[in-house]
């Protein structure tokens, strides 16, 4: 057994005892250059590329504010409080809180007091006052209904590959309660992340269901993955049928491509590709979030308990409660279903 030198021999007061059997794996030491490089890569991967662009935009708005008002860029309590007042007169006050989070993320390594200043009573009260005086009502897109999905399926009588893809994504998004970013890629190439793309190899199709692995989602930042399982439906807008029809077309065209969702061009559909077709079929009152809210409404009307809908939609508990409160259609469906079951 090895031990540290005694106090008389210049050792520490606490003895460090190491057993000979506690062997450590032999790891080759890195050069300082390699260590710095890997450290920088990991720091750069702490936030998503698309989120980094958003935070950079938030920081730019703060720097512009400081420049035009001849303020120093240090995020003092006064600077942040004045920034809140100024921005709340130009954008929705509820968005300013997100701006502050982005600025904090970008500046806290340079100004250690940034987080404390952002949470200070003066800044918090200033934002609260702006929310009361300057906020306007939130306008929600309509949730997509099952009848509208049925109309879409019947409208595609002679579908091409892109039509099959669009219908399959629509039905999987509706019944899988997906967010738009889970089934499409951002329009800006620098915001794309290949690790978020659903792979073809994760697909499993049974007689009464289909399933695939979602690499990550908003509530899972560490790519632990979730299995999305969608049951076969008796209605004419059966996701199982639409998915298998698309999969046959996709496998015939792109047998060696790893991505699940692929357009005729052999690329993952972008946000604009999806929204253009969505608005073409349903108009401007239906948006990218309409299928997620519509699916939740559909399951609520079927009598599903809210915790089951929450699990299927991969919501964190608080976010799900807020989501229900802000969507009266879903809230009404839940209340009606519970009253009927009682």
pLDDT in the model for residue 20? 61
Give pLDDT tens digits for 254-288: 999 999 999 999 999 999 999 999 999 888 888 88
pLDDT in the model for residue 159? 84
pLDDT in the model for residue 141? 77
Span 304-317, average pLDDT:
79
Give pLDDT tens digits for 45-71: 777 777 788 889 999 999 999 999 999
pLDDT in the model for residue 266? 93
d(CA 73, CA 65): 9
| Axis-axis angle for helices 306-313, 290-301 (nearest 10) | 150
Is the confidence at residue 163, as pLDDT, over 60?
Answer: yes
Pair 84, 96: CB distance under 8 Å: yes
**Nearest residue to 96 (alpha-carbon basis) of 62, 138, 121:** 62
**Nearest residue to 86 (alpha-carbon basis) of 128, 126, 116, 52:** 126
Band (pLDDT 50/70/90 cuts) for residue 81 is very high
**What SS3 string covers 195-212?**
HHCCEHHHCEECCCEEEE
* 228, β-bridge pairs: 212
Is the confidence at residue 33, as pLDDT, over 80?
Answer: yes
Q: 114-121 — which CB contacts under 8 Å span 24+ positions?
A: 114/75, 117/75, 117/76, 117/77, 117/80, 118/75, 118/80, 120/77, 120/80
Q: Which one has a higher pLDDT value, 73 or 143?
A: 73
pLDDT in the model for residue 338? 57
pLDDT in the model for residue 1? 45
d(CA 193, CA 58): 21
Is the confidence at residue 333, as pLDDT, over 50?
Answer: yes
Band (pLDDT 50/70/90 cuts) for residue 190 is confident
Q: What percent of the chain has pLDDT over 70?
A: 82
Query: Read out DSSP for 56-100?
Result: HHHHHHHHHHHHHTT--SS--HHHHHHHHHHHHTTS-HHHHHHHH
pLDDT in the model for residue 15? 58
- Average pLDDT across the chain, whole number: 84
Is the confidence at residue 14, as pLDDT, over 90?
Answer: no
Give pLDDT tens digits for 201-232: 999 999 999 999 988 755 555 556 788 899 99
Pair 261, 198: CB distance under 8 Å: yes
57 token code pair: 């935009």
Q: Which one has a higher pLDDT value, 42 or 20?
A: 42
pLDDT in the model for residue 216? 73
d(CA 115, CA 118): 5
pLDDT in the model for residue 323? 54
């Amino acid at each position: 057994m090895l031990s540290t030198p005694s106090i008389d021999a210049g050792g520490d007061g606490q003895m460090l005892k190491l057993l000979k059997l506690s062997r450590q794996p032999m790891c080759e030491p890195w050069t300082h250059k390699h260590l710095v490089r890997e450290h920088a890569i990991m720091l750069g991967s702490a936030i998503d590329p698309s989120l980094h662009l958003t935070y950079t935009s938030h920081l730019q708005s703060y720097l512009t504010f400081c420049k035009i008002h001849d303020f120093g860029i240090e995020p003092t309590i006064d600077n942040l409080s004045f920034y809140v007042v100024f921005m709340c007169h130009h954008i929705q006050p509820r968005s300013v809180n997100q701006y502050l989070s982005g600025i904090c993320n970008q500046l806290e390594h340079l100004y250690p007091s940034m987080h404390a200043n952002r949470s200070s009573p003066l800044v918090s009260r200033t934002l609260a006052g702006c929310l009361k005086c300057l906020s306007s009502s939130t306008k929600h897109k309509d949730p997509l209904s099952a009848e509208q999905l049925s109309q879409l399926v019947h409208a595609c009588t002679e579908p091409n590959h892109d039509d099959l893809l669009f219908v399959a994504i629509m039905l999987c998004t509706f019944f899988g309660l997906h967010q738009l970013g889970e089934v499409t890629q951002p329009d800006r190439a620098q915001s794309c992340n290949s690790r978020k793309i659903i792979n073809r190899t994760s697909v499993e199709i049974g007689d009464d269901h289909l399933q695939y692995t979602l690499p990550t989602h908003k509530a899972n930042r560490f790519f632990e993955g979730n299995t999305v399982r969608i049951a076969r439906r008796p209605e004419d807008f059966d996701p199982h049928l639409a998915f298998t029809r698309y999969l046959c077309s996709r496998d015939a065209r792109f047998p060696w491509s790893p991505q699940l969702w692929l357009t005729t061009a052999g690329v993952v559909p972008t946000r604009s590709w999806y929204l253009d077709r969505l608005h073409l079929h349903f108009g401007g009152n239906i948006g990218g979030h309409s299928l997620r809210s519509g699916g939740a409404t559909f399951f609520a009307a079927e009598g599903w308990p809210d915790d089951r809908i929450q699990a299927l939609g991969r919501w964190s508990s608080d976010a799900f409660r807020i989501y229900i409160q802000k969507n009266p259609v879903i809230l009404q469906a839940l209340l009606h279903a519970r009253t009927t079951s009682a």
